[in-house]
Amino acid sequence: MAKATRQAFAESLVKLAGNHQEIVVLDADLAKSTKTELFAKKHPDRFFEMGIAEANMIGTAAGLALSGKLPFLCSFGCFLTGRYDTIRMSVAYSQANVRLVGTHAGLGIGDDGHSQMGLEDIALMRALPTMGVFQPMDARETELVMEYLVNDWKGPAYLRLTRQNVPDLYPEGRVFQPCKLMEIVKVDVGRPGVVCFATGAAVAEAVAAAGALLPSGIAMSVWNVHSLKPFDEEGMLAAIKGARLVISVEDHSVIGGLGSAVA
């Protein structure tokens, strides 16, 4: 069933918090939009409404992390990264174990308008030393990335999520491999003429494109990239062997995002 990754994130957060008392959540007057209102209802004593004061929220989250908590701080991606200097100093520089969650990624937010589209956030977050950058393609992968960020990842991380619903694409029974590329559309005969790397909501668009190309005799494999940083360079180089064309697809500026990682 198609679901926005922001919704899957919130549901997973509530579930994980039951066994992880260190999880706390901070929001900047957007709990309804980021879906953290689900957490607020279930764990009101561990939810902090910080108001329209993102810089203060980031600093508070860093302090909570350095005192042993695992804070998830949430807002629209463009609003969070608009406080870049605070993220740089309070979170990345101090290597605070903070999870920055940016919803409403890219053009896909539609009628919410251009002022609220996160279009440069991946580039900004990738540039920060110690910062991991993750963007799941659907609800199931969001759950798996969340488990990884809670149980295994150490240090700062940025999680990028959709406002719009995205189709279920995660293969049934597939074992999750953190920070590794995953082939979604396979080409069984020979090598594909085109190899496509896609991330987030753009994976579904790439899958549709691969199907549309088949009648023309063009074979395109599609690889999902849930981890923009660290980036699976070894896996990418193996995937493109023999390809005539390599492309990337993302709902983000062509500068500094997945395309730059592939290049």
pLDDT, tens digit (0-9, with 9 covering 90-100), for 181-201? 999 998 866 667 899 999 999
Mean pLDDT score, 216-241: 96
88 pLDDT band (50/70/90 cuts)?
very high
Positive or negative torsion for Cα 122, 104, 119, 262: positive
Q: What pLDDT score does 163 carry?
A: 96
Please list the alpha-helical segments (H only) found in the chain: 5-17, 31-34, 37-42, 54-66, 77-81, 84-86, 121-126, 139-151, 202-213, 233-239, 258-262
Question: Architecture of domain 182-262 in CATH?
Answer: 3-Layer(aba) Sandwich (3.40)
Count of positions (residues) in the chain: 263
What is the C-alpha to C-alpha distance for residues 43 and 167, in angstroms, rounded to an integer? 29
CATH of domain 3-166: 3.40.50.970
Q: Do the domains 182-262 and 3-166 match in fold?
A: yes
Catalytic residue numbers read 54
Q: What pLDDT score does 176 carry?
A: 97
pLDDT, tens only, 147-174: 999 999 999 999 999 999 999 999 999 9
pLDDT, tens only, 126-143: 999 999 999 999 999 999
pLDDT, tens only, 23-70: 999 999 999 999 999 999 999 999 999 999 999 999 999 999 999 999
What is the C-alpha to C-alpha distance for residues 258 and 105, in angstroms, rounded to an integer? 14
Query: Would you say residue 113 has pLDDT above 90?
Result: no
Amino acid (one-letter) located at 209 = A
What is the C-alpha to C-alpha distance for residues 142 and 7, in angstroms, rounded to an integer? 9
At 223, which helix (H) or strand (E)? Answer: strand 220-224
Are residues 103 and 159 in contact, defined by beta-carbon separation less than 8 angstroms?
Answer: no
Q: How far is CA 153 from CA 145, 179, 219, in A?
A: 10, 11, 36
Helix 5-17, helix 139-151: angle, nearest 10: 40
What is the C-alpha to C-alpha distance for residues 60 and 48, in angstroms, rounded to an integer? 10
Amino acid (one-letter) located at 84 = Y
Domain boundaries, the chain: 3-166, 182-262
